[in-house]
């Protein structure tokens, strides 16, 4: 009897549930359509364009896989991939470590810590163009603040943005300065979510601060580390504005990354089809890099 009553109740609610579902679809439809129109359609068109030869003047000419076959033999593109990989290798471990260190330093509930956290996060609100302009002044070998400080301790001026050996390093330092606040806050939130009982248990077992950090903090930060590393990698592979404003891709293509090469291919040489193929090659590389990171961090998931 109870089963029959429950079935009757469900039958009575079914029409209302269907109406709610349909109303939900109607409400979501405009936003979904806008997303498809603004994001999905351009991606599909760019993919089709990557199989053509198109210069913005003449009609697209279908060339099949010719653009993709050209990538492996295009020395400029190969070098730009190496530059992007160099940037990722330099910024991901150092940026992640510094961001975690910042989070550890600002997690204590001391007087004035709120203001310090705000100051640390402020650079994240500055656009990349403004950031690059600020640091171009700081890096200036004649009147730059950095070389002036170095001269006070007897260090000769460094050609930060005009030397092949230091140009990429100058972009890495600037990028870390701008983003450590964002990733530091993410690490801070993760640190505050670790139960104190775990540290107390480690202390009872005789663990010192280093042991607690190694065997409690780092394992519990596994998912957050995965997120931070992936975002650093994606941002690193897509780096463009820093090089465009600060070094203009130089010196001698020392900072000409993949996205910079795509920009030149599309808007300087008007090879839109080939630029689209380069862009999708970058997309595949980013997906592969994300999957590699996912595999490396596959066991770093914990339930409290």
C-alpha to C-alpha distance for 74 and 169, rounded to whole angstroms: 26
The architecture (CATH level 2) of 71-296 comes to: Orthogonal Bundle (1.10)
C-alpha to C-alpha distance for 84 and 249, rounded to whole angstroms: 12
Give the burial class of 239: count Cβ atoms within 10 A of its Cβ; 0-12 exposed, 13-18 middle, 19 or more buried. buried
Where are any strands of DSSP class E within the chain?
Answer: 52-53, 61-62
C-alpha to C-alpha distance for 252 and 79, rounded to whole angstroms: 11
- Determine the pLDDT at residue 5: 47
Give the burial class of 15: count Cβ atoms within 10 A of its Cβ; 0-12 exposed, 13-18 middle, 19 or more buried. exposed
Start-to-end Cα distance in the chain:
42
Q: pLDDT per residue over 26-69, tens digit each?
A: 888 888 888 888 888 888 889 999 999 999 888 899 999 999 99
Please, are residues 236 and 87 in contact by the beta-carbon 8 Å criterion?
yes
Tokens encoding 27: 């409400």
Q: Which stretch of DSSP H or E encloses residue 204? A: helix 196-204
Q: pLDDT per residue over 286-297, tens digit each?
A: 999 989 888 877
Question: Is the predicted pLDDT of residue 225 greater than 70, yes or no?
Answer: yes
303 band by pLDDT with thresholds 50, 70 and 90: very low
C-alpha to C-alpha distance for 86 and 169, rounded to whole angstroms: 10
210 Cα distance to chain centroid = 29
Cβ neighbour number for residue 69 with a 10 Å cutoff: 12
Torsion sign across C-alpha atoms 140, 81, 50, 47: negative
Q: pLDDT per residue over 235-248, tens digit each?
A: 999 999 999 999 99
Mean pLDDT of the chain, nearest integer: 88
- Determine the pLDDT at residue 37: 85
C-alpha to C-alpha distance for 91 and 14, rounded to whole angstroms: 55
Half-sphere exposure of residue 236, counting CA atoms within 13 Å on the CB side?
Answer: 29
Question: Is the predicted pLDDT of residue 122 greater than 80, yes or no?
Answer: yes
Rg (C-alpha) for the chain, rounded Å, is: 26
Tokens encoding 17: 């549930």
245 Cα distance to chain centroid = 19
Per-domain residue ranges for the chain? 2-49, 71-296
Q: What is the DSSP string of 286-298?
A: HHHHHHHHHHHTT
């Amino acid at each position: 009897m109870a089963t029959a009553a429950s079935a009757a109740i469900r039958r009575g609610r079914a029409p209302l549930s269907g109406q709610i579902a349909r109303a939900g679809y109607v409400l979501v439809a405009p936003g979904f359509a806008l997303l498809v129109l603004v994001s999905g359609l351009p991606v599909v068109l760019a993919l089709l364009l990557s199989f053509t030869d198109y210069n913005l003047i003449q009609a697209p000419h279908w060339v099949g896989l010719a653009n993709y076959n050209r990538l492996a033999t295009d020395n400029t593109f190969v070098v730009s991939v190496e530059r992007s990989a160099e940037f990722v290798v330099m910024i991901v471990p150092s940026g992640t470590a510094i961001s975690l260190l910042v989070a550890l330093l600002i997690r204590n509930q001391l007087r004035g810590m709120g203001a310090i956290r705000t100051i640390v996060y402020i650079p994240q609100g500055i656009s990349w163009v403004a950031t690059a302009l600020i640091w171009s002044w700081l890096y200036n070998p004649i009147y730059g603040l950095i070389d002036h400080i170095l001269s006070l301790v007897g260090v000769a001026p460094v050609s930060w943005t005009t030397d092949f050996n230091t140009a990429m390093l100058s972009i890495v330092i600037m990028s870390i300065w701008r983003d450590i606040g964002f990733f530091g806050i993410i690490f801070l939130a993760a640190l505050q979510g670790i139960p104190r009982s775990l540290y107390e248990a480690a202390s009872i077992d005789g663990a010192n601060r280093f042991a607690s950090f190694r065997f409690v903090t780092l394992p519990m930060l596994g998912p957050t580390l995965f997120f931070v590393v992936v975002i650093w990698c994606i941002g690193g592979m897509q780096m463009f504005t820093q090089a465009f404003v600060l070094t203009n891709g130089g010196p001698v293509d020392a900072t000409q990354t993949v996205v910079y090469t795509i920009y030149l291919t599309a808007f300087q040489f008007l090879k839109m089809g080939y630029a689209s193929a380069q862009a999708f090659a970058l997309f595949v590389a980013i997906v592969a890099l994300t999957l590699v990171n996912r595999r490396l961090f596959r066991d770093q998931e914990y339930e409290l």
